[in-house]
Structure 1
């Protein structure tokens, strides 16, 4: 019923509008025209506000000029939005020398959308992937991770990015949203959903080449 409603009303879901914004950036540059309330006016089919999309796109252009390359995607899950990106550094000889994965989350609350103050990489252990209820102190949480042999989100993301930097994506196979069971031993500890991370890394590597 919801999809029928969207089609009948000529409305687009958030991820569809995000794709239109990305297409606009590629074809026309990073400037977005907004009204007094911040809603985008110069991209047909887009009705959402410019929640730092143009700022991020301009930063990507500046990064490229400084030898940094970036690829990103965005997706929504319920009221939550995830902005996922891979960022790399290229040296004077054109060699990729670093690769990093990150995610910034945002959420709609009472009809108002806002990004979190920090990305998952910036949160480090405070993201609490294995302690959502925050029942442990910082020290207890780190001890728990070590005792259980678990890795926090940023540790898993770094493990995957470091592997891809050194070995490429050739052996990184997916089973749905996660790594396949026969994943290389070096990334066997990566248990989070990685499909979006693989997507942005592939795009980054394809564009760099």
Structure 2
């Protein structure tokens, strides 16, 4: 927001989990959005993710570097059009490493995975852990578009205790260390709250990870 009544400070939500509001300014949000729109085009574009039990995720997804599908990685879109996954650009590694530096300290590994999820107004993400990588490097999460409720929990269970955090366009959330395998999810998206100057309807979440493969 342009005129915050109460400024949103940097917050350590849990040990190793940091929320940094307004980390990306409007110009950098636009640049990241333009890149996401390019990545979303086929081949290896935006797809609906289907779970082994026959369900579908309401958030649609495109991957870079390594293709994630429940619950593994491959170099091709195994559960989609079968084409090679799009490459992970160097500038995203630089962005992720800067994000870790600004929140937790100097990173020790290069990032090589991006999962980009698109949420319409009715999309949700159930509580889950990012546990399919072989690296314990921090996860970097960037938000574009509509505001959401991001539920950040504990490492033992999908239920309480957890903390609900409001993530707005441009916000950064990084979790590593003792919180690296914490359950987290998105129970609500506030439709129509994206900054008008961004030109996006819905929410994009860009999640950056280190594979360790």
TM-score range relative to shorter protein: under 0.3
Which structure has more RCO (C-alpha within 8 Å, separation ≥ 6)? Answer: 2
Report the TM-score when normalising by structure 2: 0.24
Report the TM-score when normalising by structure 1: 0.25
Q: Which has the larger radius of gyration?
A: 1
| Structure with a larger share of its residues in strand | 2
